[in-house]
Amino acid sequence: MSTFNLDVYMPVVILIALAMLVAGGSLLLGGLIRPHNPNKLKETAYECGEEPIGSAWANFNVRFYVIALVFIIFDVESALMFPVAAVFKKFTQIGLGGTLLVSVFSFVLILVAGLVYCWKKGDLDWIKSFHSQANYAKKDK
Amino acid sequence: MFTNTLFLLSAALTLGGAIAVVYSQNLMHACIYLLASFFGVAGLYACIGADFLAATQLVVYAGGVVILMLFAIMLTGGTGNNINRYGLEKIAAMGNKKTYFFAGITAILASLIVLKIIANVLKDQSTTAVITANAPTVERIGTLLATDHILAFEISSVMLLGALIGAAVISRPRKERHD
Amino acid sequence: MNSTVVTYLSQSKELTNAISWLTKALGFDASSLVAFVIFLVACLIVVGVMSTIGGLGTYAERKISADLQMRIGPNRVGPYGILQFLADGVKMILKEDIIPSGADRFTFMLAPFLCLVGVFATLAVIPFSSGFILADLNVGIFYLVGMASLVGVGVFLGGYASNSKWSMLGGMRGASQIISYEIPATITIISIVLLAGGLSMGTLIGGQGGMPQEWYLFHNPFAFVGFFVFFIAALAETNRAPFDLPEAESELVSGYHTEYSGMRFGLFALAEYIEVFVVCGVATALFLGGYKVPFDLGTGAILVEKLGMDEMLAKNIGQLLEMGAFFTKTFALYYVVIWVRWTLPRLRVDQLMTLCWKYLTPIAIFNLLGCAVWMYAFDGKSIYSLIFETAATVAGHH
Amino acid sequence: MINLGSYLGISFALFICGILVMIARKNIIAILLGIELILNASALNFAAYTKFSNNNLDGHILSLFIIVTAAAEAAVGLGIVIRFFQLRESIHIDDAASLQN
Amino acid sequence: MDYTFWTIAPIVLLPFFAFVINAFIVKKFTKLAVAISTGSIFVSFLFALRIFFDFMNVYSVGYHIHKVFPWFNLSSGSHVFEVKMGIYIDNMTSVMLLMVTGVATLIHVFSTWYMHDDPRFGRFFVYMSLFTSAMLGLVLSDNLLSVFIFWELMGFCSYSLIGFYYEKEGAGNASMKAFMTTRVGDVFFLLGILAIWSVVGNVSFVDIYNAIAAGKFNGLTISVFSIGVPVATLAGFSIFMGTMGKSAQVPLQVWLPDAMWGPTPCSALIHAATMVAAGVYLSLRMYPLMELGHLTTFIAYIGAITAFGAATIALIQTDIKAVLAYSTISQLGYMVLGIGVGSYNASFMHLITHAVFKACLFLSAGSVIHSIHCQEMPQMGGLRKKLPYTFFAMLLCCFAIAGVPFFSGFVSKDRILGDALVMAFNNPVYIPVALLGFGGALLTAFYMFRMLFLTFLGEPRDHHIYDHAHEEHLGWNSNIPLLILSVFTLGLFYSGSFTGQGEVNLFGSRNEWFSTLIHKPDAESLHHYAEYKSEDFGDVDTRDKLELPKAEYDPNHGMSEEVAHHVHYIHHVGAIASVIIAFAGIFLAFSMYVKKSISADWWAQTFVGWRRALQNKYYFDDLYIGKIIQKGLIPFNNFLAWFDMGIYDKYGVDGWAAVNRFAYTVSRWFDNTVIDSGMVDGTGWSVRAMNTILRWVQSGKIQLYFIVLIAVLAGYVWKLSF
């Protein structure tokens, strides 16, 4: 079995450090030469010229969360799928591809069932509120 | 040399992040520190040759869980007020001295437990420390997942399905609620 | 395993000699030190080149859009205005750095860093050529996915920290768009991993060839569809038009970086342009044969054989050819990205989500399963080789 | 430097930080952050034990499933938090004590 | 016959896959789901039949199949921690398999008729499939751990099926009660498994037997409240607690009558034929441990008390299913009694015979209920003309359960009672056991025929119900299952002879196949298991090439001639006594409810106090709910709440303030005059104390629980380390 030295992670560390350096360096460099005379008007948040009303950190629609939820489930699914996919070719070569195919199929299809559920229940519809408002309007009549 | 540097950097990031999570009084910042801590843990995984785990840590935690938490913090409007529904003052959401005091006591008790458990390991680790060379893990993990741990692999999909449906049902806004 | 730029260079005798000399001189194993120096230099080169490409990207964008709209575009700074990006950069550095008073300062400062770190870290596994890849990690593509997801966090935090309604909306939209489109992209990547049988860039490209029929793009119908799924998803992940809802000028002023000014804004822009290059590079590597050049020119073996060239020189020439192939394909895709931006109108937000979850993701999953079946049924042979073999069998050849 | 002891120490420290966060905070999401720390500590332990014992990767598999479970847990847990917030307009843990008696 | 994965596993897997498939398709394709469920269990039955006939062909005591596969292995170095799962089939298992699959098939068929009007027709079959597969898995298990897993799975199915009509409040409560009551036993069962594991290092049956034979349990004690208790006793008792929970033995019998809220076919399958028998099956399997732990007397008493007590309660029940429920408890008591008096074969035989006739009785009751939509016996009467087939089936079953000769109940119960009598003659401690056993037999005959007479004979008491009763027609899925089951109440299927005494040879030497084949693993014969071999799945089975000795009928049951003669004598006495008792009971019921020569009301009025006790089921429910839960658990809960509010919040969170306030109060107390402080502060203090008490009741904070958890764990670790 082939082994490796941890030196291969060097570029990763160097690149992260460089990113910090580039960002921090350019800001520092700019800090030396750029003007700095803030005033209150400059520092208010932009609201098309109006005075900002309240904080922007208000509650947001829950549909953002549902999207993130579906995302994390599929993210985890992909994390589990990657190693299995990586050995799929080897398994087909040694004649075990059928078994693995079945397990991959069942794995993916079970998760697709979840996607289909969310789809059917309308969790993936971005403008669900319009529909429900329309429904309420119909009911009122 | 580089290995040790990487280890030290990762450990510092991990512990620094974790301690910052403990001391941060701003939930959003705590979440960012947590992200740093996750990065550090990924580095620690990389140090022991667990390259796939390190990447998974990045993908699932840094890319998934942290985003989810940030969203949840936004959806619940940050830190919130300190008055409960009876109009009485609550303990501050991020804790105060008293809760920290109790947390400290609990942590001391917990550390007693853990130290008691790991004391034996630390004592005789000189005999068990056989450091093997780092080898690529992806294919071996894939093989294990496809053979020995196939049931866990399949069941985890069922668990994820359950989590997806359960969380979607829980967090779905109810139409009939008007108040 | 894990071929890096160092392992490539250590094929030459000079380097090994230098290492042994240094080891003798310094009294400890200098290979790590030399590796560090080489990596540092290589990283600096890559970052420099990428920053230039990012800068030139803005220039190319303006020039191409001008072309498409029958304008001239930037033409003042330098010949054909090519130094425009330098002027822009200088301007950004000189601009005043304003932090809104209501902002969360710590997060506000951190957000561009996160974006930049996420993008720069992905550069480590971009395969410019078979030798010049900073680190061909075992988990290459998976690592790339993980690091790229950091951009989502950066965008979200940028939007959050500004404490402005436009930024907040843009940040939420941006983050949810990035994470949403990560799913079809990742699943498509899995289907290519399935074909190649490994996660490292070397394996992924190694399964392809220099000729188009050997690319994974034409390996089977599923992969062909998968390329478009990946490309659309990658486009959306970089918040490029027609998926630039987070920074939709007509709706959200400027999206998550409304409150950012000066160099901080510049960092966001730099990250975005480099990310476009990265996703184009990944698309090239996964589907378009990456750095592969036809007729084994890449290894230089043919040069040594026919022309009797020095082995190392031939290899270096091969590397240059490979690099040329990679950059050509990537820039072609880069051009398509810009072309798409100035051709297509922006999607509505509900269309965006519909496209991701109701079209791309199911198609990607279908492709994944299709690729698996293809691998199983045809033993991993591409459609071209199937046809070729059938024809050969029919013709009586073996 | 890289040995079992240092890894156990780090994961121990992570665990204690997690417990501190879990007890000291009154915000449910913050408590979930603590839980994530604890889960990370345990996953790190598994990987470290695998490395410093027989390296047969079973520990990696366990860590992998811990990560998977943690993600699912975060999804459901935060879902509950959000639902709770919709009902009570609060994510203070002491407001979530209505199951008393 | 070769045994591979594909000849054994489908027995469990078919119903399980039926469950999985049906769970998805049941809403859209109800009929298909029902067909899949029923078909799968029928195919399982065919597999079981194949195994059964193979075992009958070999006809050897030692014939067994033990296939194992490693589940997980966490061994490192010398420390072995390996868990294997496997399948273990011996003669007992093969009979159990046949019984479970056969009865389950018939009940599935019956359910297609009984439940077809129900809105949740399909879902019922989903649960039933899961239940059946769990039961079969339990029967096939070779170790306690997988038994426990399937055991819990069955508990869950039972919960779901009792609460099947969840829109009725009683059903919901009953399901919860069943779940919680059996949980008490299950916790003990788990503890028992752990105790066994700590000694044997494994929980496979064969390994446990070998460990007992090797004397691993000898001299091992564990300190419980600083009294040394032998581990064997503790483990045996814990496992027997599991039996008590699952098989509804006193004092954990309270859930079974309430379980009758479930649909009748599920009562027939779960709460009469199979699941409750699983407890007895477990005790049978663990018999050597019970013997080693000197628990047999205790078990015999529990069984006898259950058998008699439940029979007395059954006397006054008016609900037809309640009568059957109590008779089930009573009969389970007989099985447990049989284990206690060492009547291993007979106990197992009673398990099988009881499963058959009780399933039949429940299905008959279901048929009656379906026909008249009423469960109260006082409103029935004269249904014989309307439901002739049901009457016939029920009559046979009543004969069987009452112990009339030539019926299965006689064969099995008589032998248990005979053995009890033998024990009573040898050891006076067992005299009450035998007396309770015989008394229960009398009551059994009485109440069963009371039920039969009240339901089918006499004049219709409620003409409205009678006139609206559906006429019964012979249908493949309505009364054919009843008739098939009722045929199997004949004794000769179980004894090979009509009387069960081994005198009439019917199938050559194969008479008395229960006594011949079922191998009692007592202290003398345990060493046989050392020769038992397990093999991995997939290995080619070599067993059919083995020359196994044929099992032979030994009229002396391995005893010396003299002892055997004595035993035979007592057995004959017992047999005659039980025949007399059975007929006496039937006669009593006949004269009371048909002839009406004895007034039932007179009895009721004379024994008012006792009757009230019976109506209240000996106050067990009151005890559990009123005393233990309300007086015990809720105060404990309140204590924890007090700990939270009173200690954590008050002294911890408000700690500094409280300390200051206290110091302030104290100083003022010294400063002011005694009367002043006594009056003013006393009043204030009492108000505050009242407030505190009120606040104690209010808590529910998760973090406190966590603190307590850590503290307790720390204390435990501290205790361990010193």
Assigned domain for C98 exists: no
Rounded to whole angstroms, the Cα distance separating E351 from E337 reads: 12
Q: Tell me what the mean pLDDT of segment C325-346 comes to.
A: 86
Of the ranges B87-96, C101-110, E683-692, E712-721, the best mean pLDDT one: C101-110
Residue B129 has pLDDT above 60, yes or no: no
Sign of torsion, CA A50 A53 A55 A56?
negative
C touches D (3+ CB pairs < 8 Å)? no
Higher pLDDT, A123 or D44: D44
What value does the mean pLDDT take over residues B107-130? 72
Distance, in angstroms, between C190 CA and closest chain A CA? 6
Residues E42/E125, Cβ–Cβ less than 8 Å:
no
pLDDT band at A140 (very low <50, low <70, confident <90, very high): very low
The Cα of D83 is separated from the nearest Cα of chain A by a number of Å equal to: 9
Both tokens assigned to E716 = 């435990």
Three-state DSSP class for C320?
Answer: helix
Q: Where are the domains of chain E?
A: 295-522+554-615, 623-721
What ranges do the domains of chain A cover?
6-140
Residue D42 has pLDDT above 80, yes or no: yes
| Of E61, E93, E66, E92, residue with least CA distance to E549 | E61
**Does this model's pTM top 0.80?**
no
| Strand order through the sheet with E82-89 | E82-89, E65-73, E535-536
Q: Return the CA Rg of chain B.
A: 21
Report cis status (omega within 30 of 0) of the bond before E257: no
Q: In this complex, do B106 and E656 lie within 8 Å of one another by their Cβ atoms?
A: no
Residues belonging to chain D: 101
C187 neighbors C361 (Cβ within 8 angstroms): yes
| Domain, as residue range, for B152 | 136-174
Q: Do chains E and B touch (3 or more CB pairs under 8 A)?
A: yes
Which residues, in sequence order, are CB contacts of D49 under 8 Å at separation 6+?
D4, D59
Contact call for residues E581 and E441 (beta carbons, < 8 A): yes
Q: Which helix (H) or strand (E) holds E362?
A: helix E344-372
- C4-13, C150-159, D61-70, D80-89: least confidently modelled range: C4-13
- Give D55 or E214, the one with higher predicted confidence: E214
Distance from CA of C174 to the nearest CA of B (A): 12
Within chain C, what is the greatest distance between any pair of CA atoms? 80
Say if strands E227-230 and E82-89 run parallel, antiparallel, or are unpaired: unpaired
Domain count, chain B: 1
Minimum distance, in Å, between the CA of residue D43 and any CA atom of chain A = 16
pLDDT attached to residue A138: 47
Residue E508: the pLDDT is 47
Nearest CA among A134, A135, A122, A130 for reference residue A66: A122
Report the pLDDT value the prediction gives residue B132, as an integer from 0 to 100. Answer: 65
Across the interface, whether the CB atoms of C138 and B137 are under 8 A apart is answered yes
Q: What is the C-alpha separation between C367 and B85, in angstroms, rounded? A: 52
CATH assignment of the domain containing D84: 1.10.287.3510
Cβ contacts of E347 within 8 Å, gap of 6 or more: E280, E284, E335, E336, E337, E338, E339, E416
What element of type H or E holds C90? helix C84-94
Q: Would you say A7 and C116 are in contact if contact means Cβ atoms under 8 Å apart?
A: no
What is the signed CA dihedral for B64, A81, B170, D95, rounded to 10 degrees?
-40
Contact A65 D78 (CB under 8 A): yes
- The whole-number average pLDDT for the span C68-97 is 80
Beta strands E221-224 and E82-89 are unpaired
Cα(E140)–Cα(E10) distance, integer angstroms: 11
- For an interface test with D, the pick among B41, B101, B116, B164 (most D C-beta atoms closer than 10 Å) comes out as B41
Query: Does residue B160 fall inside a structural domain?
Result: yes
Size of interface B-E (CB pairs under 8 A): 32
Mean pLDDT of C320-334: 87
C17-43 pLDDT, tens digit per residue, is: 887 888 777 777 777 777 788 888 888
Architecture category of domain A6-140 in CATH: Up-down Bundle (1.20)
Cα–Cα distance measured from residue C351 to residue C358, given in angstroms and rounded to the nearest whole number: 10
Which residues 33-52 of B have a C-beta within 8 angstroms of C?
35, 51-52
Say what the pLDDT of residue E104 is: 92
DSSP state of D101: -
Cα Rg of chain D, angstroms: 17
Determine, yes or no, domain membership for C191. yes
Q: In whole angstroms, what is the distance from residue D11 CA to residue D6 CA?
A: 9
Nearest to A69 among D67, D75, D86 (CB): D75
In a domain, C311, yes or no: yes
Residues of chain B with Cβ-Cβ distance to D57 below 8 Å are 137, 140-141, 144
E297 vs D3, residue with greater confidence: E297
Contact at CB, D20 and B130, closer than 8 angstroms: no
Neighbours of chain D (3+ CB pairs under 8 A): A, B, E
Residues sharing a CB contact under 8 Å with residue C158, sequence separation 6 or more, in sequence order:
C108, C111, C112, C115, C167, C171, C256, C257, C260, C268
pLDDT of residue E333: 93
User: What domain range includes position D48?
Assistant: 4-96
Dmax (CA) of chain E: 105
Host domain of residue C137? 103-395
ipTM: 0.71
Average pLDDT over residues C240-246: 70
Write out chain C residues lying below 8 Å of B66, CB-based: 153
Tell which of E638, E702, E704, E709 to mutate to test the D interface (max D CBs under 10 Å): E702
**Rounded to whole angstroms, how far apart are CA atoms B106 and E706?**
9
d(C-alpha D29, C-alpha D77), whole Å: 9
> Angle E296-315/E431-456 helices, nearest 10 degrees?
30
Q: Give the B-side interface with E, CB within 8 Å.
A: 91, 98-99, 101-102, 105-106, 109-110, 112-113, 116-117
d(CA C151, CA C144): 12
pLDDT tens digits along D7-35 = 888 888 899 898 888 888 888 888 888 88
CB atoms under 10 Å from CB of E635, counted, come to 11
The C-alpha R_g of chain E, in whole angstroms, comes to 29
Count of domains observed in chain D: 1
Domain count of chain C? 1
Provide the b/e sequence for E15-34 (b: ≥16 CB within 10 Å).
bbebbebbbeebeeebeebb
Burial of C284 from C-beta contacts in 10 A (0-12 / 13-18 / 19+): buried
Q: Quick one: pLDDT at residue E499?
A: 47
Instruction: State how far the alpha carbon of E106 is from the alpha carbons of E101, E103, E660, in Å.
Output: 9, 5, 76
Q: Residue C282: enclosing H or E segment and its boundaries?
A: helix C262-287
Considering CB atoms only, which of A37, A67, A101 is closest to C372? A101
Low-confidence ranges of chain E (pLDDT < 50): 499-509, 694, 696-698
Residues E278, E181: contact at Cβ < 8 Å? no
